């Protein structure tokens, strides 16, 4: 039996922010999108105890066990062109890693573009969607899960499994929203180079990593060679060509 999120504790630490809490929903992405279309303020966040059809990238689902994870979607209204959307995704990954470190002491890796890893296992993921003049950023963090179902059993972990103790979802939610404010402000004010540099330093996947990439119908293998100015991944394929990965799933290969 898990406790419900202490929403009032969180609201008390985030004065002025609209925080909608739902015991259950299909996906917080849909709830936040509806609020964005109604014209809600930037920073508005929807948090759910469970999602019945949590969504991941590339049409995947997001395992959303009740009370075990942090399932949040945040409406962002940033003065940035839509071409900066990949950079926003990278900034949100950095924010998630920073928040996890602050709230739990755990150091995480980032796998381009949006996977937060402990070792080789995924503990959090980020999904960014554009809706008219707003972005909706969905963040799922596996917090106190003790096990995972197929098909993610062998590739997922939780902060509890990684640290050996239950973690406070409230503390992490506050740290996450504050870190998102900091990283998106950095992107807007300091420009893309700072986020590209931070991501490159924080991720073991950006340089010299043997990977397999599934990008639509393409399946490529090669070694990573950095990020381009838009935040896309540069891959030197095994036949010597240079490929720019715009989206898709990146998986590690043996060196």
List, in order, residues 6 or more apart from 247 with CB less than 8 Å away.
58, 113, 215, 216
CB of 241 to ligand BTN, least distance (A): 27
Of 114 and 167, which CB lies nearer to ligand BTN in the complex structure? 114
Report the C-alpha gap between 86 and 71 in whole angstroms: 21
Nearest distance, CB of residue 137 and ligand BTN, angstroms: 9
- Shortest distance, CB of residue 42 to ligand BTN, whole angstroms? 17
Count of CA atoms in the C-beta half-sphere (13 A) of 92? 28
Q: Do 200 and 227 touch, CB atoms closer than 8 A?
A: yes
If the CB atoms of residues 57 and 121 are measured against ligand BTN, the closer one turns out to be 57
Nearer to ligand BTN, 19 or 79 (CB): 19
Q: Which residues bind ligand BTN (CB under 6 A)?
A: 27-29, 51, 54-57, 60, 62, 71-73, 114-115, 125-127, 138-140
Give the integer Cα–Cα distance in Å for 100 and 79.
27
Structure tokens at 253: 């290969």
Rounded to the nearest whole angstrom, what is the least distance from the CB of residue 73 to ligand BTN in the complex?
5
Residue number closest to ligand BTN, CB atom: 125
CA angle 148, 140, 178 (to 5 degrees): 140
Taking the least distance from each CB to ligand BTN, the nearer of 86 and 140 is 140
């Amino acid at each position: 039996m898990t406790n419900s999120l202490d929403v009032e504790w969180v609201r008390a630490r985030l004065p002025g922010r609209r925080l909608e809490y739902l015991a259950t929903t299909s996906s917080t992405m849909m709830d936040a999108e509806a609020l964005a279309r109604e014209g809600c303020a930037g920073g508005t966040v929807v948090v759910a105890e469970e999602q019945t059809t949590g969504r991941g990238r590339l049409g995947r689902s997001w395992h959303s066990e009740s009370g075990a994870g942090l399932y949040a979607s945040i409406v962002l209204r940033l003065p940035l062109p839509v071409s900066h959307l990949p950079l926003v995704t990278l900034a949100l990954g950095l924010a998630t890693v920073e928040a996890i470190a602050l709230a739990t002491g755990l150091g995480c890796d980032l796998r381009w573009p949006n996977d937060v890893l402990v070792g080789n296992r995924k503990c959090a993921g980020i999904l960014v969607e554009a809706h008219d003049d707003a972005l909706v950023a969905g963040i799922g963090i596996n917090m106190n899960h003790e096990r995972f179902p197929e098909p993610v059993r062998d590739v997922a972990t939780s902060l509890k499994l990684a640290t050996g103790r239950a973690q406070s979802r409230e503390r992490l939610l506050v740290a996450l929203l504050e870190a998102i404010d900091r990283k998106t402000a950095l992107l807007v004010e300091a420009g893309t180079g700072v986020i590209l540099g931070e991501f490159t330093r924080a991720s073991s996947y950006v340089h010299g990593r043997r990977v397999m990439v599934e990008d639509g119908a393409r399946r490529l293998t090669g070694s990573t060679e950095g990020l381009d100015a838009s935040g896309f991944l540069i891959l030197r394929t095994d036949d010597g060509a240079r490929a720019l990965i715009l989206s898709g799933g990146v998986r590690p290969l043996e060196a």
